[in-house]
Amino acid sequence: MLDSDQVLTAVADEPDVDRQLRPHRLGEFVGQEQVKEQLEILVQASRIRSEPVEHVLLCGPPGLGKTTLANIVAAERGVNLRVTSGPAIEFQGALASLLTSLGDGDILFIDEVHRLQRAVEESLYPAMEEFAFDFVSGKGAGAQTIRLALQRFTVIGATTREGMLSAPLRDRFGAIFRLDFYQHHELRQIVDRSARLLAVDAEDAALDLISTRSRGTPRVANRLLRRVRDYSQVRGDGAVTVRMTQEALDLLKVDEIGLVESDRRLLRLVCQQFRGGPVGLSTLGAALSEEPQTIEEVIEPYLLQLGMLKRTPRGRMATEGAYRHLRLEVPQELAGSPSEEQGPLFANES
């Protein structure tokens, strides 16, 4: 019999599967209705004026569709998309190479745009405003500034840390949108579509179970669907039933509201070792052997959305909901607090 690591090894090529599941048009994209509507207006207006789409900044936690929306905007506008990331553009010459390769109306998608080097970021300002790239040729007294004319293009930036963007860079984006966690019924639509595309024979109740435990995040929903499919093919007859789904999720240690072991470790640490907090982010990172940035960008957002963790000026604090979920005794000062109800993620579900 295979061990758990073998069971959870992907059968298919993950990048190819991700591309297969990614929507290609706004009409196929589920959720984020206000963002979709505004992007549709931007695209149509640029088409009417025969101009590039306005520079767009997409903010929000990982896995909510920022890269997908960038691809969709390029497809809807019928232009090319160049994809890079902030850390990958290490010097001004690399940025110049990217910008001079863009055609009229093309889109440059910069993931993790908040991590651009300062010199690279400053070179991007005139490019975004005036479609020109300035660089210094020569050294000393003979140095001179040369300006390269660029084709009109669009920058779409994506960030999980909007607060880390400098004000000058942020102000150069004409449209700024924040993506929020998805409601259960939206995730259910996404999982249903993905199951059809992957030709997965799945029970409706099994897809409901997957969407309930997907942390409000489409990327997680699709990943869980693939892992459940793998488990069902190895341990069953390939059909994704409720029993197979529950067994696979138990093996992955995904609980009834989507928390994984790293989430529960963080909550137990705050509740038990630090008596509910407040505790600083760097202290949590050291205690968990995790980078503080990983805690802040990957683990915390969902716990904050659920109302199990809260940020205060003095540090992170656990709420009554965290104690109850871990089946720990609730401290008297938290019991019955009206502010510790479950967060908005599961509100108004259908």
Given the residues 188, 213, 215, 219, the one annotated as active site: 219
Q: The tokens 């903010």 sit on which residue?
A: 59
**Which of the residues 22, 36, 67, 227 is marked catalytic?**
67
Give me the sign of the Cα torsion angle 267, 273, 274, 275: positive
Token digits for 318?
């656990």
* Token pair for 182: 């998805």
Q: Which of 225, 210, 200, 230 is nearest to 7 (CA)?
A: 230
CA distance 208 to 188: 6
Residue 36 is among the residues annotated as catalytic for this protein: no
Handedness of CA 193, 29, 218, 67 (dihedral sign): positive
* Measured torsion, CA atoms of residues 151, 152, 158, 164, in degrees rounded to the nearest 10: 90
- Could you give the 3-state DSSP secondary structure of residue 275? coil
**Catalytic annotation present for 192:** no
Using the Cα atoms of residue 34, residue 37, residue 41 and residue 43 in order, give the sign of their dihedral: positive
Consecutive H or E run containing 315: strand 315-318
* CA pair distance 94, 285, nearest whole angstrom: 34
Q: Which of 66, 172, 188, 226 is catalytic?
A: 66
Check if 68 is active-site. Answer: no
Is residue 310 part of the annotated active site? The answer reads no
Q: Which of 22, 77, 106, 111 is catalytic?
A: 111
Residue type, 158: A
Query: Which amino acid type is present at position 32?
Result: Q
Distances (CA, A) of 341 to 29, 89, 149, 242, 323: 31, 43, 55, 29, 12
Told to judge if 160 belongs to the known catalytic residues of this protein, a careful annotator would answer yes
Q: Residue 104 corresponds to which tokens in the numbers above?
A: 């009229």
Interatomic CA distance for residues 68 and 63, integer angstroms: 10
Give the CB-side neighbour count of residue 72, counting CA atoms within 13 A. 21
Q: Give the strand pairing for 144-149 and 132-137.
A: antiparallel
Catalytic residues: 66-67, 111, 160, 219
